[in-house]
Amino acid sequence: MNLKPSELAMVPFVSVANMMKLIHHVGIEKMLTEIAHEIEEDFKRWELFDKTPRIPSHSDVGVIELMPTSDGELYGFKYVNGHPKNAAAGLQTVTGFGLLADVRTGYPVLVSEMTVLTALRTAAMSAVATKHLAQKSARTMAMIGNGAQSEFQILALKAVCGIDTARLYDIDPSATEKCAANLKGLGIKIIKCQSPEEVIEGADIITTATADKNYQTILTDNLVGAGVHINAIGGDCPGKTELHRDVVARASVFVEYPPQTRIEGEIQQMDADHPVTELWQVIAGRIEGRKSASEVTLFDGVGFAIEDFSALRYVQRAIKGTALYRELDMIADPDDPRDLFGMVLRAG
């Protein structure tokens, strides 16, 4: 890439409208599959990345976080919030945007919306975990929490893991109605359920994506049968969990980045040295994932910066040769790099 300084100063920006067009352009299941592949490839080179637990700013209503990482060539970060009470006010629980930069120059090379992209990457991540941990014969999933993330979660498991039936449950029946209506005609059998007991019947995979800034017990141990794989993605903050600790105690627990998950994940309920396996080790073939058909596997997903990096780099490639971005005049670019003040003067 031999771009002139003036070209480097213009940064491709993917708006929400263009992200939605990109999804239609690529096809949602194909895009989920491709982002899942990107995540898998990056998890295989896990050791190469800069890693740090995300940097949170908590309030009594939610959290605002920054999630940075770098592979030495590209640097990326996401700004993301989590505000469980937003939905009641007609606002999104989770919103985000992100940036990629060239490590050699420090210049940004992409700015993108990440509210929609986070839903795609979170679903792709669950699909990667499910692919490596669930029983290969799994075809039925239970989706507990039928909000913004739910349809993405279901379609990713359909596309990547061959799920053909989704059982839905939410404490708010209108969320279940919305989820079922959105998935109509998309090639997956939908069963609406009235209780946690009903939703887990016959499910090989249980995904929880509920939002509450509390220790919740969405799943108790008696609800989890032998051999089930659980993706618990809603508990992603200190003081915010979804599973009874007995479920966590019985399961083999797989995590993204332990220093972050021990603060934010289901395992915050357990001792600081509760045994966990890093999922990247399973993906890289270094450690066995599921060891038996009766084992309960738990992906304690909190969302890690490398997943956002993978998704942003995917978008950076996918928009090339399309009109699905516009250029932002984001980097000041004086003809003489030392004459920033002169450039400001001349603009008067």
Ligand X SMILES: NC(=O)c1ccc[n+]([C@@H]2O[C@H](COP(=O)([O-])OP(=O)(O)OC[C@H]3O[C@@H](n4cnc5c(N)ncnc54)[C@H](O)[C@@H]3O)[C@@H](O)[C@H]2O)c1
Catalytically active residues, by annotation: 236
Residue with tokens 């700004």: 79
21 vs 15, 25, 97, CA distance in Å?
Answer: 10, 6, 17
Residues 216-235 touching ligand X, rule: CB under 6 A, are: 216, 218, 233-234
Buried b (16+ CB within 10 A) or exposed e, 314-323: bbbebbeeee
Residues 52-91 touching ligand X, rule: CB under 6 A, are: 82, 87
Q: Does 19 bind ligand X (CB under 6 A)?
A: no
| Stretch near ligand X under the rule CB under 6 A, chosen from 21-29, 156-164, 170-178, 309-317 | 170-178
Residue from 9, 36, 39, 94 in contact with ligand X (CB under 6 A): 94
Check: CB of residue 176 under 8 Å from CB of residue 170: yes
Binding mask 97-126 for ligand X (x = CB under 6 A): ---------------------x---x----
Check: CB of residue 32 under 8 Å from CB of residue 117: no
CB of 168 to ligand X, least distance (A): 10
Residues 274-333 touching ligand X, rule: CB under 6 A, are: 301-303
Residue 22 or 255 having the CB closest to ligand X = 255
Q: Does 147 bind ligand X (CB under 6 A)?
A: yes
Residue 78 or 290 having the CB closest to ligand X = 78
CB of 6 to ligand X, least distance (A): 38
Residue 33 or 261 having the CB closest to ligand X = 261
Residue from 33, 149, 261, 277 in contact with ligand X (CB under 6 A): 149
User: CA–CA separation, 16 vs 53, rounded Å?
Assistant: 27
Q: Does 200 bind ligand X (CB under 6 A)?
A: no
Q: Does 18 bind ligand X (CB under 6 A)?
A: no
CB of 84 to ligand X, least distance (A): 6
Residue from 32, 190, 211, 224 in contact with ligand X (CB under 6 A): 211
CB of 280 to ligand X, least distance (A): 15
CB of 58 to ligand X, least distance (A): 13
Residue 18 or 95 having the CB closest to ligand X = 95
User: CA–CA separation, 31 vs 274, rounded Å?
Assistant: 35
CB of 187 to ligand X, least distance (A): 22
Q: What is the 3-state secondary structure (H, E, C) of the chain?
A: CCCCHHHHCEEEEECHHHHHHHHHHHCHHHHHHHHHHHHHHHHHCHHHCCCCCCEEEECCCCEEEEEEEECCCEEEEEEEEECHHHHHHCCCCCCEEEEEEECCCCCEEEEEECHHHHHHHHHHHHHHHHHHHCCCCCCEEEEECCCCCHHHHHHHHHHHHCCCEEEEECCCHHHHHHHHHHHCCCCCEEEECCCHHHHCCCCCEEEECCCCCCEEEEECHHHCCCCCEEEECCCCECCEEEECHHHHHHCEEEECCHHHHHHHCHHHHCCCCCCCEEHHHHHCCCCCCCCCCCCCEEEECCCCHHHHHHHHHHHHHHCCCCCCCEEEECCCCCCCCCCHHHHHHHCC
Residue from 110, 120, 128, 148 in contact with ligand X (CB under 6 A): 148
Residue 145 or 289 having the CB closest to ligand X = 145
| Stretch near ligand X under the rule CB under 6 A, chosen from 28-36, 205-213, 278-286, 318-326 | 205-213
CB of 218 to ligand X, least distance (A): 5
Residue least distant from ligand X (Cβ): 147
Residues 124-143 touching ligand X, rule: CB under 6 A, are: none
Which positions touch ligand X (CB under 6 A)?
82, 87, 93-94, 118, 122, 144-149, 170-172, 175, 209-212, 216, 218, 233-234, 236, 301-303
